Amino acid sequence: MSHASAISDHWGTGDVYSRILGAMQAAGIDASAVTLEQLAPMDHFHARGFPATKDLADTLPIKPGQHILDIGSGLGGPARYIARRFDCRVDGIDITAPFVDAANKLNALVGMQDAVSFRVGDGQSLPYANEAFDGGYTQHVTMNVPDRDAFLAEAFRVLKPGAFFALTEHGLGEAGTPHHPLPWSKDGSGAYLMRPADTVRALERAGFVKIEVTDTGDKYLEGYNRAIELAERGETPVFGNHVLLGKMAPEIIRNAALNIAEGRTHPVQFNCVKP
Ligand SMILES: C[S@@+](CC[C@H](N)C(=O)[O-])C[C@H]1O[C@@H](n2cnc3c(N)ncnc32)[C@H](O)[C@@H]1O
């Protein structure tokens, strides 16, 4: 199996959109009138969900009408939120075809096809012209990317001079050797965590400047602990992306929290600029 299909199969197979519709129905949400706010517990598919996207978006200098790239766009919640909040256009690309299919169908459901679109592709080899975008971000994607230099060089290539680039990820903590399963890997296969200092050096090698590093570990730990508490009280919401993590979701969430607490992983955000 190729690297791309191993990663894609890890994240999502089959008809993901139908599973999302099923979860909507179970939660009593009317799909024909669903709002971005109602979709948020599902379609911001990363640790901490929508609050993390909002925190990231707060740091992005996007102007109305700009064209932004989301690398590893998942189910499309972040791209839709950013398009609506900043009145900009967002293109998303993701290696997992069932996610891209669901992301485009969710777009149609909320009538955002003109502002946002998604296609299948690998961030290590982007199908866009040089200097096509006013800004780009990649939210919790790079844990699965073996060739970080290729990934960052491609992001740099497709951005205009002066464009911003933002990256959030679970870096490798000082203690190393994370417990698995985790959201991005069942057993350590397909996982390529880097220490934050090494990611800074990789961003510099790609040509990015003005690199700002923000430690997000405490916020992530708090988010995971809240999810664990809700699960212990039997109050996990019916409509949420734990549905897509499957039966292992409780163990995955416990490990994600433990890794941060033990310094095995190190959630971090990088904001930088293409000169
Ligand atoms: C944790 S999800 C995050 C999705 C989205 N960024 C979000 O914040 O909701 C990770 C995503 O990265 C995608 N991904 C992993 N490796 C990729 C690559 N090399 N190129 C593009 N997408 C990739 C996966 O398919 C998955 O959708």
Looking at residue 97, what is its pLDDT? Answer: 97
Report whether pLDDT(222) > 90: yes
Q: Residue 73 C-alpha to ligand 1 middle, in angstroms?
A: 6
Q: Which of 36, 90, 94 to mutate to test the pocket of ligand 1 (most atoms within 8 A of CB)?
A: 94
pLDDT in tens, 169-208: 999 999 999 999 999 999 999 999 999 999 999 999 999 9
With a pLDDT cut of 90, the percent of the chain lying above it is 91
Q: Residue 171 C-alpha to ligand 1 middle, in angstroms?
A: 15
How far, in Å, CA of 17 to CA of 195, rounded? Answer: 35
pLDDT in tens, 252-262: 999 999 999 99
How far, in Å, CA of 196 to CA of 193, rounded? Answer: 9
Looking at residue 22, what is its pLDDT? Answer: 96
How far, in Å, CA of 78 to CA of 118, rounded? Answer: 12
Looking at residue 88, what is its pLDDT? Answer: 98
Please give the residue that has the higher pLDDT: either 3 or 65.
Answer: 65
Report whether pLDDT(1) > 80: no
Looking at residue 245, what is its pLDDT? Answer: 86
Domain that holds residue 133: 3-273
**Domain CATH code at residue 101:** 3.40.50.150
pLDDT in tens, 66-102: 999 999 999 999 999 999 999 999 999 999 999 999 9
Looking at residue 186, the DSSP 8-state letter turns out to be S
DSSP character string of 35-101: -HHHHHHHHS-STTHHHHHHHHHHT----TT-EEEEET-TTSHHHHHHHHHHT-EEEEEES-HHHHH
Q: Residue 222 in contact with residue 10, Cβ under 8 Å?
A: no
Q: Which of 144, 148, 193 to mutate to test the pocket of ligand 1 (most atoms within 8 A of CB)?
A: 144
Q: Residue 233 C-alpha to ligand 1 middle, in angstroms?
A: 30
Report whether pLDDT(114) > 80: yes
Q: Which residue owns the Cα nearest ligand 1 atom 1? A: 46
Looking at residue 211, what is its pLDDT? Answer: 98
Looking at residue 247, what is its pLDDT? Answer: 87
Q: For the chain, give the mean pLDDT.
A: 96
Which atom of ligand 1 is nearest to 96's Cα?
25
Q: Is residue 119 very low, low, confident or very high in pLDDT (cuts 50, 70, 90)?
A: very high
Looking at residue 126, what is its pLDDT? Answer: 98
With a pLDDT cut of 70, the percent of the chain lying above it is 100
Tell which phi-psi region holds residue 157, choosing left (phi > 0), alpha (psi between -120 and 50) or beta.
alpha
Q: How many domains does the chain fold into?
A: 1
